[in-house]
């Protein structure tokens, strides 16, 4: 009996994943050269499907790296000479901030406690910050930042570069890439692939910055996967080094499947499944929604406080072949995290809620 | 009709690959958490199998990264404060050298022309070089450096760190890891997996160096996949970020398959297949072995000069569903490269030779 994964990622594989994997095996995608026309066609197809799904304009390139964590480092090395600024409200936005420190950037931080979200009015951006690092969905705490607030913030600080971590929400957020300079995600979350590929979207302004920094003696933009090299290879739909070709192929196929549904309908389905989950949590005696402010509640990673220890809840679910994530770090025992990605249907969410309801 | 790939990587998948992929799908490996016991067991199994296959002692950790190209950068950032030294005789050893320049290291170079190899007596190592970068198998030129020469070089320069690029030969080279500090490879070559995983082997001396560099203000060792963080996570068989879990799982299974054959027998089989190829090239009127010195001829990537344009040779082979690599860079038209990895049998090599023999 197969399990259903409502985990925050790695997560449930998208229902069409195995069929695409079989096609890839039939086409021997695992053996083709990454300098062949066959590979360039794969890259181009995935690029086109992601552009359509996420409304990405020609000003932005789409690059394939090892993971979103790698992209944290690449965006800092390539877009920051001295100072970055980070909105931090959980473990992953904090890691992004710590990456800036590790690469010897002067990293400014505006921090809120776990479970709190950021709105436009909360944020004042330090004068010399070159890059503003926002997290659309903080996976550890289940907190989202609204797109409108991110866009407004960039418009008020037009000369700074803005990057959005959308690791555990893409393609859900309706980002305006005419405004946002860069964003990134990994494929083992809402796209329903196994881990092993990070996707970096970055515009010509990021490239200009990287090209400028590349000339300096006292800083370097990295040798591997630096933006000028990625961009140059991208012009012919190639990558600087051998990438995860199989994942790029399947990502394109799944993005095409999602395009058949349509981004708008996908968002509505996600919202409607999130509503089922939050409504249950609000009416439950054992569970509570952790994030109190409804406008900051994540649609894609729902975090619940639980009175019954999380381990007991997870063990009971496991007997029904249902898997959720534990709370993050210090919240391991008192919270569970439920991913709400396109791979799980309304019916499956209802089934999960029915099991959770047994705890009251 | 399926093709047989004699390409230098991505290459023919190992014959058991698809069976292991099916097991992974049955076990839902694509969805499991990288912080679960199930993942730690997978990492541990792959670690054990690689240790057995390549005779890796406890002084060395085994780490999973995005690609071998990423590891070029990581080893330079983590093991070099000021100066590295590179033996360069082709495109990939040159890229390693260029990575050192891009990360602002003072990179010394000893260069030989394409097709020439290095022996112990050729090499004098600059006094202040901290890291000596050797390439066991230069994939672009089909040139190998003998293990004995690498070991002798390290013994004569015991205080320097030595790293061996074995991207397109591992697990073939019989490296003595009591001598060699670090080595790395990618899985889409002799291990017969699709691309998307690099494996970095590094000892406690590399770690000590990285920990020392981490304290300095004027250099940084990177934020993502730096050695102290990799090492710390490795103590519990975890990775700092979500890795390519599926590839780690299958790599362990294929390493176990190779262990059943045994490293010694694998080497003998590789040598015997290489002999078939070189013997044919030596007696052919159309083809010549490119590398003239037999001691520097690669056993795993055989490069042949061809009088008939390479494109014609490759087109004729393609009709028989046989795929080889073109010559690298400027040698695109005048050479072909034939991979000799464990995934292709003696019979398949004989079949390829029979087709090539039609050119005389």
Domain assignments of chain B as residue spans, ordered by start: 4-11+263-357, 17-260
Judging contacts by C-beta atoms under 8 Å, the chain A residues touching residue B101 are: 223
Asked if A324 and A358 count as a contact pair (C-beta separation under 8 A), the reply is: no
Please report where in the chains the tokens 């010399």 appear, as a residue: A128
pLDDT confidence band for B16 (50 / 70 / 90): very high
Which residues, including other chains, have CB under 8 Å from residue A323's CB and lie 6 or more apart?
A3, A4, A5, A6, A7, A314, A317, B31
For B244, which of A7, A195, A223 is closest by C-beta distance? Answer: A195
* Interface mutation vs chain A, best among B196, B228, B249, most A CBs within 10 Å: B196
What are the backbone dihedrals phi and psi of residue B280, each rounded to the nearest 5 degrees, phi first? -60, -50
Using the beta-carbon criterion (under 8 Å), do B241 and A2 form an inter-chain contact? no
Residues B270-291 have pLDDT tens digits of 999 999 999 999 999 999 999 9
- Closest-approach residue (CA) in chain A for B186: A242
pLDDT confidence band for B202 (50 / 70 / 90): very high
CA–chain centroid gap for A93, Å, is: 12
| CA dist., res. B61 & res. B256, Å (int) | 19
Residues B49-100 have pLDDT tens digits of 999 999 999 999 999 999 999 999 999 999 999 999 999 999 999 999 999 9
Q: What is the DSSP letter of B23?
A: H
Is residue A1 predicted with pLDDT exceeding 90? no
Count CB atoms within 10 A of the CB of residue B245: 28
What would the CATH number be for the domain defined by B4-11+263-357?
A: 3.90.1150.10
- Closest-approach residue (CA) in chain B for A6: B31
Output the DSSP codes for B275-327: HHHHHHHHH-SSEEES---GGGB-SSEEEEEESS-HHHHHHHHHHTTEEEEEP
How far does A337 lie from chain B, in Å, by closest CA? 13
Q: What is the mean pLDDT of chain B?
A: 98
Residues B304-354 have pLDDT tens digits of 999 999 999 999 999 999 999 999 999 999 999 999 999 999 999 999 999
Residues B212-268 have pLDDT tens digits of 999 999 899 999 999 999 999 999 999 999 999 999 999 999 999 999 999 999 999
Using the beta-carbon criterion (under 8 Å), do A194 and B31 form an inter-chain contact? yes
- Closest-approach residue (CA) in chain A for B13: A31
Q: B240 has which bridge partners?
A: none
How far does B155 lie from chain A, in Å, by closest CA? 30
Using the beta-carbon criterion (under 8 Å), do A194 and B100 form an inter-chain contact? no
Contacts 24+ apart (CB under 8 A), A104-109: A104/B217, A104/B220, A105/A76, A105/A80, A106/A82, A107/A83, A108/A83, A108/A84, A109/A85
* 3 state SS of A165: strand
Asked if B352 and B5 count as a contact pair (C-beta separation under 8 A), the reply is: no
Helical spans, DSSP H, in chain A:
17-26, 37-54, 68-79, 91-102, 147-155, 204-214, 227-234, 245-261, 263-283, 310-319, 346-357
For A245, which of B2, B194, B217 is closest by C-beta distance? Answer: B194
Residues A133-163 have pLDDT tens digits of 999 999 999 999 999 999 999 999 999 999 9
Overall CATH class of domain B17-260: alpha beta
- Closest-approach residue (CA) in chain A for B343: A31
| CA dist., res. B80 & res. A20, Å (int) | 43
Judging contacts by C-beta atoms under 8 Å, the chain B residues touching residue A21 are: 21, 25
Least confident of A80-84, A328-332, B192-196: A328-332
Using the beta-carbon criterion (under 8 Å), do B34 and A7 form an inter-chain contact? no
- Give which of B329, B330, B270 is closest to B302, Cα–Cα: B270
| CA dist., res. B222 & res. B78, Å (int) | 8
Is residue B1 predicted with pLDDT exceeding 90? no
Q: What is the mean pLDDT of chain A?
A: 98
Count CB atoms within 10 A of the CB of residue A111: 14
- Closest-approach residue (CA) in chain A for B325: A33
Which residues in B301-322 are b (16+ Cβ under 10 Å) and which e? bbbbbbeeebeebbeebeeeeb
Asked if A333 and A308 count as a contact pair (C-beta separation under 8 A), the reply is: no
* Interface mutation vs chain B, best among A242, A245, A337, most B CBs within 10 Å: A242
């Amino acid at each position: 009996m197969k399990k259903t994964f409502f985990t925050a990622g790695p997560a449930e594989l998208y229902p069409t994943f195995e069929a695409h994997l079989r096609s890839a095996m039939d086409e021997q995608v695992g053996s083709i050269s990454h300098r062949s026309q066959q590979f360039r066609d794969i890259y181009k197809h995935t690029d086109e499907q992601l552009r359509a799904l996420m409304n990405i304009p020609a000003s932005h390139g789409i690059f394939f790296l090892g993971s979103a964590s790698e992209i944290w480092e690449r965006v800092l090395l390539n877009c920051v000479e001295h100072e970055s600024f980070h909105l931090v409200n959980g473990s992953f936005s904090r890691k992004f901030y710590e990456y800036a420190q590790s690469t010897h950037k002067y990293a400014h931080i505006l921090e809120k406690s776990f479970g709190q979200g950021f709105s436009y009015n909360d944020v004042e951006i330090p004068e010399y910050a070159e890059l503003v690092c926002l997290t659309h969905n903080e996976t550890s705490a289940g907190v989202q930042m609204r797109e409108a607030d991110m866009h407004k913030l960039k418009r008020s600080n037009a000369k700074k570069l803005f990057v959005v971590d959308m690791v555990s929400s893409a393609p859900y957020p309706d980002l305006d890439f005419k405004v946002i300079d860069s964003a990134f995600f990994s494929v083992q979350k809402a796209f329903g692939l196994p881990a092993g590929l990070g996707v970096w979207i970055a515009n010509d302004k990021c490239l200009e910055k990287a090209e400028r920094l590349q000339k300096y003696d006292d800083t370097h933009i990295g040798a591997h996967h630096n933006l000028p090299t990625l961009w140059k290879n991208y012009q012919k739909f190639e990558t600087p080094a051998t990438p995860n070709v199989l994942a790029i192929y399947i990502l394109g196929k799944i993005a095409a499947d999602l395009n058949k549904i349509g981004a708008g309908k996908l968002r509505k389905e996600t919202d409607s499944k999130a509503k089922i989950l939050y409504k249950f949590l609000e009416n439950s005696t054992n569970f509570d929604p952790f994030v109190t402010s409804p406008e900051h509640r994540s649609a894609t990673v729902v975090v619940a406080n639980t009175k019954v220890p999380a381990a007991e809840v997870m063990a009971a679910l496991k007997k029904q072949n249902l898997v959720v994530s534990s709370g993050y770090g210090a919240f391991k025992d008192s919270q569970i995290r439920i991913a709400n990605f396109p791979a799980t249907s309304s019916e499956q969410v209802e089934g999960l809620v029915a099991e959770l309801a047994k705890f009251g």
